[in-house]
Amino acid sequence: MSNKFAAQQFLNRELGQLEFNRRVLSQAEDASIPLLERLKYLCIVSSNLDEFFEIRVAGLMEQIKLGGIATAADGMTATQTLRLVREQAHQLIKHQYQLFNTDITPALAANGIKFLRRTHWNEAQQAWVKDFFFREVMPVLTPIGLDPVHPFPRVLNKSLNFAVELQGKDAFGRNSTRAIVQAPRVLPRTIAMPPEISGCAHGFVFLSSILHAHVDELFSGMEVLGCFQFRVTRNSNLFVDEEEVKNLRLSLQGELPQRHFGDAVRLEIADNCSPQIEALLLKEFKLTPADLYRVHGPVNLVRLMEIPGMVERDDLKFPAFVPGVPGVLQKKGADMFKVIRKSDVLLHHPYQSFKPVIDFIQQAASDPAVVAIKQTVYRTGADSALMEALIAAAQRGKEVTVVVELLARFDEEANINWANRLEEVGAHVVYGVVGHKTHAKMLMVVRRENGKLHRYVHLGTGNYHPRTARLYTDFGLFTSNEAICADANEVFSQLTSLGKARELNHLWQSPFSLHTEVLRAIQNETRLAREGKRAHIIAKMNALLEPETIAALYEASQAGVKVDLIVRGVCALRPGVAGLSENIRVRSIIGRFLEHTRIFYFRNDLQHDVYLASADWMDRNFFRRIEVCFPVLDKKLKKRVIDEGLKIYLQDNSQAWDMDSEGQYRHKQLRRAARKCAQSELLRQLASPSVKIST
């Protein structure tokens, strides 16, 4: 990192992640958003925070435990960062539960969607709950009394548990005072009560309420003094020494179960929990009061994500839409290879369908002329038509090579299962390069045509995951360009074989050339600006953290380059600082779809260079992952990427948040200007015209 810029010129990563979750939570506050979608945003914040504690906070605590005093680019130590993270996380979670209790829950109730609390159950409801408890809950519970023979049980990461205070003697005359009841994961956390019993269209009972109401049935003859729900979050980083293990898959399979029992990093308890139980739990999990989060409501709001799917109220959800299909692919049974031979094809998800990607690989699997298929797999899900097509291709005798990233966080188990199934049918399965996650999104088909082999490639910014392709914004490019196909083939060769990396024609690749090329492109704009020419950089990504890249952007700003950054999540760069970054603007778009596209635009003296990538501008993407960044060469498609992926987001005055030099975000306020919402406009432009799209 250049010494020219001091630590105070960089913002903290962890605090930036909390700031991002504040923006997500603001969606739950927005009354213009359909009510059940607001509930989803509330749940998304909880899900995000779970991973934040499991990975980022766990990492900070591990650094402190090991005595590390190193500082990050922002100059703060792990101890300093953790203190601020705890303060801000407590504030954020407090606000989240206030919103749940005083806004979301009453609004749902007004629409006939009620969470029925046990203090308000009538006789019929009590009888229904009692029957449900004895029929569905009690048979699978194993209450554990705490005494010298029954120590504190192992508590799974993020599981629902209850600490029970008791009085009296049990059947053996033991004077037990405390017990733990663990809620098995097979039990639903939110149970729908029949309308004729609930008295409303959609009545729900929390599992915690059912257990609270009947916990005394688990301790016959004893008096229950209190029952308190709690949840512990654990360190979920996997510790697999890739340099030492002989078989990464076997080692990972041995390590995965331990993820559920890593060191505790956060304790959530009900706000009515007794001081005695609080002290017991903190001691058991070796946590401090600063790691304790008292909540007024369910300790796991993520579970409420199921509610919208259980409620048939289209008026309380985002309008449904049918993803569009490019005109060249609309003909039923269109020959994908013929279409791609004629010209490159660009897909913009979720506005345009992911189905052509599935069609492409399914056609390849069944086409006698196809001799080989190669694909990278990072996240694809437990149920994937793409993976089934690869298996079918291998069964038909085609050469199938799949680079499976076993260390894709929280998708390790699904990827191991796919690797097993692929190997069973004779596919070549490789796990990439030791020390580097394979994060590139590449799919290549080799086809024999007129006695010669021809290659077809799909490159993308997002995962080969049909479900997230309906939720995340991403671009995918089909091409038969010989130079790009040769580059893709070279990257596959690196992943499966051995040898030196060769220079590529068009692709920028991590860990070899991506960082260097990004810096070169930024520095080229800087040079043009110093020569008095107009210079402009627009970059869209999930995160901007790498110090040398930020330093280069500061230098570009000082030279007069206009820099527009669209960064969904964490941005360590400070925009708008006089003499440093006054020509840099940073904004974040938070809307119906998760912004996931990585686009890099450089004006380059009217060359208008456009690149799409699997990589953010982070240390890990530049130096510790296999990534690809690919140009859009077709002029019409290049214009589409600029218009659909960049310009429309810079004009957004509805879902945009502008960042100041302190890392604070302000929602773009509408004045007299007409409302411009990038995601709604793209739905109108690209989704199927047969469906009316409402904003």
Q: Enumerate the β-bridge partners of residue 455.
A: 446
Phi, psi of 525 (to 5 degrees): -60, -40
Residue 138 contacts residue 218 (beta carbons within 8 Å): yes
For residues 458 and 390, is the Cβ–Cβ distance under 8 A?
no
Neighbouring C-alpha atoms within 13 Å toward the C-beta of 562: 10
Q: How many angstroms separate the CA atoms of 520 and 695, rounded?
A: 40
- 626 contacts 514 by C-beta, under 8 angstroms: no
User: How many whole angstroms separate alpha carbon 479 and alpha carbon 345?
Assistant: 7
Annotation marks residue 439 as catalytic: yes
Residue type, 341: R
Reference 208, options 160, 168, 166, 146; nearest CA is 160
Q: Compute how many other C-beta atoms are within 10 angstroms of the C-beta atom of residue 694.
A: 12
- Of 78, 44, 65, nearest to 264 (Cα)? 65
Q: Do the beta carbons of residue 442 and residue 508 sit within 8 Å?
A: no
Q: What tokens appear for 640 in the block? A: 């589409």
Express the helix, strand and coil content of the chain in percent, nearest 5 each.
40, 25, 35
C-alpha–C-alpha distance, residues 589 and 652, integer Å: 8
Residue 556 to residues 415, 564, 565, 607, 658, Cα–Cα distance (Å): 42, 12, 13, 18, 20
Q: How many angstroms separate the Cα of 667 from the Cα of each of 199, 277, 664?
A: 40, 42, 10
CA distance 12 to 2: 18
End-to-end CA distance of the chain: 44
110 burial level (CB within 10 Å; 0-12, 13-18, 19+): exposed
Written as one string, the DSSP assignment of 5-68 is S-GGGB--HHHHHHHHHHHHHHHHH-TTS-HHHHHHHHHHHHHHHHHIIIIIIHHHHHHHHTT-
Residue 357's nearest CA partner among 369, 372, 345, 367 is 345
Cα Rg of the chain (Å, integer):
27
DSSP state of 683: H
With 0-12 / 13-18 / 19 or more C-beta atoms within 10 angstroms meaning exposed / middle / buried, residue 434 is exposed
Query: Side chain identity at 353, as an amino acid letter?
Result: S
596: left (phi over 0), alpha (psi -120 to 50) or beta: alpha
Q: How far is CA 279 from CA 83, 165, 255, 519, in A?
A: 21, 13, 31, 53
> Whose structure tokens read 């189905």?
355
| DSSP code string of 303-335 | GGGGHHHH---GGGSPPP---B--GGG-STT--
Residue 33 buriedness (CB in 10 A; 0-12 / 13-18 / 19+): middle
Query: Which of 212, 349, 436, 439 is labelled catalytic?
Result: 439
Q: How far apart, in whole angstroms, are the C-alpha atoms of residue 413 and residue 407?
A: 9
Distance CA 455, CA 447 (A): 6
> What would the two tokens of residue 569 be?
């999540």
The catalytic residues are 439
